[in-house]
Structure 1
Amino acid sequence: MSAHTYRTDDVAVPGGDLHVGVWDPVAPQTGQVLLIHGVTASHLAWPFVVEELPGIRAIAPDLRGRGRSNDLAGPAGLAAHADDLVAVLDHLGIERIPVVGHSMGAFVAVVFAHRHPSRVESLLLIDGGMPLDVPAGMDADAVVAHVLGPTAARLSMRFASIDDYLDFWRPHPAFTQAWSPELESYFAYDLVEDGSGRLRPATSYETTVEDTIDMNTGSSLPAALADLQHPTALITVPRGLQNEKPGLYAPPYLEGILAEYPSVEHTRLGDLNHYTIVMSRPGARVVGDAIRAVVAHQHPVA
C-alpha cells in the first residue's frame, strides 16, 4: 500500500495556470517539502523520492514551459520560476517550507530563497545550483548544446506513439540499468499532441534556451549565491546526463566552487548519474534520507 495519495492542482500564475502534483501522506503528516524538477523534466520525476518520505507531504510543480504547464504565456528565467513557487505556496496555505531542487530546479531553488527568504526553511540542491563549468563567450544555442547535449535536440523531435517514445529512451545510457514502470509513466507524461497527429515532448525549446542562458550567464544566480542565508546542502554525482564521467561537476572544478561558498555542506555520491540520483530506487533512498533529515528540523506543521 502506498504511503501517499496523489492528486494534482492548478495554480494561477502570470500567463495562465501552473500544474502541481501533491502527494499527501496517508499517515499523520510530520512535515512537508517543495520539490523542483530539472530543465526538461516534470513533477513526475519525483515518485521514487516520494516513496521514501512516509508522513511527509510532497509538493512538486510542473515548471512553466514543461509538463502540463507547457502552454503558460510570458517569459521564463529563474526569477519567474521562483515567483511562480510563491503562488503555489500561497495557494496551498504554506508559509515556509524546506526546498529541494534537482538539476535546473536547484538553480531555481537558490534564486527562490534569495527573492523570497521568508518562505524557505532550507535548501537541498541535487546535482545543480552551483555555477556550471561553461566556457565564456558562447552564444545561446552553444550554451544549451554544451550543457544539455542531445537532451536539447530531443525537444524538436516528433513521435508516432508513446511506444515509439519509450523505444527512443530505452537504450539511453543513463537508463539502461535503471528502467522501470515509473520511468515509463514519466516519459509518457512528457508527450503532448503537436497539432498534426504526432506527439512531441512537452518542454518548450525556447523556454529551455531562456532558462539555460539565465542560469549560466544571468545575474540572478550570482546575486543569490552571494547572499546565501539558508542552511544549504549539495549532493553531486560522478556521472552526467549520458552516464558519462565526470558529470556536471568535475571534482577539481567543484572544489574551487565550494571554496567560494564554504557554508554549503557537500556530499559526493557513488556510481549514480544525473538522472538516477532521483529517478531510481538507489538514488531516491539517499535523497529521501537527506530530505527526512531536513524536514525533521523544520518548523512544526500547522
Structure 2
Amino acid sequence: MTKPAELDLRVDGGTLRVLRFGEGPRTAVAAHGITASAMSFATVARRMPPDWSLFAPDLRGRGGSSAAPGPYGIDSHARDLCAVAERWGGGAPVALAGQSMGAYVALRAAARHPQLFDRLLLIDGGLPLPVPPDADPDALLDASLGPAIARLSLTYESDEAYVGFFRAHPALGPHWNEDIEAYVRYDITGPPGALRSRAKEDVVRHDGRELLTTAASFAADLAGLSVPARLLYAPLGLMGTEPGMLPEPLVAHWASQAPMLTAESVRDCNHYTILMGAAPARTVADRLTSPLQ
C-alpha cells in the first residue's frame, strides 16, 4: 500500500497534519470520525480515479494534529476543513466528504462557505440525532461510544497489543485488511510499554457533547444547504450489528425535508467498513467523484 504524503497546514493557533492520497489535479477534501484519523480514508482514496487527489486532515486532537490546540468543536473543525480546501483547491470549488462526526463538520463547512465546494457527501453521519432535553451528554456518549472512548485512556504494552485490541472488535476483526491495520498503526503513540491512541479523550468528549446538544444547528444547516448533497449510510452500526447509526425513519425524514439532500443505503457494511471495506469504499469513491445533479 502506497503511503500518503504527510503535509502541514498552519491554522489558527497551531499546525494541522493533512494526508494527501493521490496526485491528480482534481481535489476532494474529507473529514474523519470522532476518535479516528485521516488514515480512515485510505481505502476510498485508492478507488478514486487517477485524476483525483484526496486531502484529509487529522482533526485537532487526533492523529498528527494531536498537539493542535483549541478551540475545538464543530465550528473550529469546519474552519480548518475550509482552510484545507482553500490551500489545495486551486481556486476552484472542490468535492467535500465527511464520515461520522466528520459528516457534521463537512455539513457545517458547506453550509457556511458553499462557494468552496461543488458537492457534499455525508457518510453515515450529518443528520441531527434526537436527544431528550434532560439527557446527560456524557452518559449518552458512554452508552453509544463506550468502547471507542474507553480505549483512549488505556495504555498497551506493544504495537501488537494495540492492534490486537482492534482485531478483536466485532465490527473490524471479521473484515480485517491492510488498510485497517495501517489505520490502527498510524494511531499509536507513546513510549514502549505505555502505548496509547493519539486521539485525546478530553477533545473527543468536548466534540461529542456538542454533537448531542446542538442538533438544531445541524437541522438548520441541512435545510439551508445550497450545495448538492448525498448521504450514504450503513445498515449496521458500531458493533457490526443492526441497527445502523442512522435509523431509516430519520433518513427518510431528512431526505424529504432537506431540498438538496438525497440518500442511499450501502449494502453489507457497518459504520467502519463503509469506509474501510473494499466494496463499500468503491461506492463511496464513485459517489464522491461523480457530480451530483
**TM-score with structure 1 setting the length:** 0.90
Q: Tell me whether 218-227 or 258-267 shows the greater mean CA deviation.
A: 218-227
CA contact (8 A) 1:78 1:220 kept: no
Aligned to 1:207: 203
1:220–1:11 CA distance, 2 compared to 1 (3 A): farther
The CA deviation at 1:122 is 1.1
Residues in 1 aligned to 2:254 and 2:26: alpha-carbon distance in whole angstroms: 32
The CA deviation at 1:5 is 7.4
The unaligned stretches of length 5 or more in structure 2 are none
**Residue 48 (1) aligns with residue 43 (2):** yes
Aligned to 1:155: 152
Aligned to 1:247: 244
**Residue 39 (1) aligns with residue 37 (2):** no
The CA deviation at 1:192 is 1.3
SS at match of 1:9: strand
The CA deviation at 1:24 is 3.0
CA contact (8 A) 1:143 1:212 kept: no
1:294–1:93 CA distance, 2 compared to 1 (3 A): closer
SS at match of 1:164: helix
Aligned to 1:183: 180
The CA deviation at 1:111 is 0.2
SS at match of 1:294: coil
SS at match of 1:266: strand
Superposed counterparts of 1:25-174, under 5 Å = 25=23, 29=24, 31-53=26-48, 54-92=50-88, 94-95=90-91, 96-174=93-171
Q: Deviations over 1:79-113 (max 9, x none)?
A: 00011122223333533211011111110011001
SS at match of 1:278: helix
Q: Deviations over 1:192-246 (max 9, x none)?
A: 11x6851111111111111112222225423322311110000111100111201
The unaligned stretches of length 5 or more in structure 1 are 298-302
CA contact (8 A) 1:42 1:190 kept: yes
CA contact (8 A) 1:247 1:274 kept: yes
The CA deviation at 1:117 is 1.6
Indicate the percent of aligned positions where both proteins have the same amino acid. Answer: 37
Residues in 2 aligned to 1:213 and 1:222: alpha-carbon distance in whole angstroms: 17
Residues in 2 aligned to 1:89 and 1:256: alpha-carbon distance in whole angstroms: 30
Residues in 2 aligned to 1:270 and 1:136: alpha-carbon distance in whole angstroms: 34
CA contact (8 A) 2:17 2:65 kept: yes
1:93–1:99 CA distance, 2 compared to 1 (3 A): closer
Q: Tell me whether 52-61 or 212-221 shows the greater mean CA deviation.
A: 212-221
Aligned to 1:236: 233
Superposed CA RMSD: 2.0
Aligned to 1:192: 189
Instruction: Indicate which of 18, 34, 44 corresponds to 1:20.
Output: 18
CA contact (8 A) 1:5 1:24 kept: no
Q: Deviations over 1:58-87 (max 9, x none)?
A: 111101111010111122111000111222
Aligned to 1:300: none
Q: Tell me whether 83-92 or 202-211 shows the greater mean CA deviation.
A: 83-92
CA contact (8 A) 2:223 2:259 kept: no
Look up the equivalent residue of 1:150 and give its one-letter code.
Answer: P
**TM-score with structure 2 setting the length:** 0.92
Instruction: Indicate which of 7, 10, 13 corresponds to 2:8.
Output: 10
Q: Tell me whether 278-287 or 88-97 shows the greater mean CA deviation.
A: 88-97
Q: Deviations over 1:9-60 (max 9, x none)?
A: 11111221000001233xxx36221111111111110111111112211111
Residues in 2 aligned to 1:139 and 1:92: alpha-carbon distance in whole angstroms: 40
Query: Structure 1 stretches (4+) deviating beyond 3 angstroms?
Result: 133-136
Residues in 1 aligned to 2:267 and 2:3: alpha-carbon distance in whole angstroms: 32
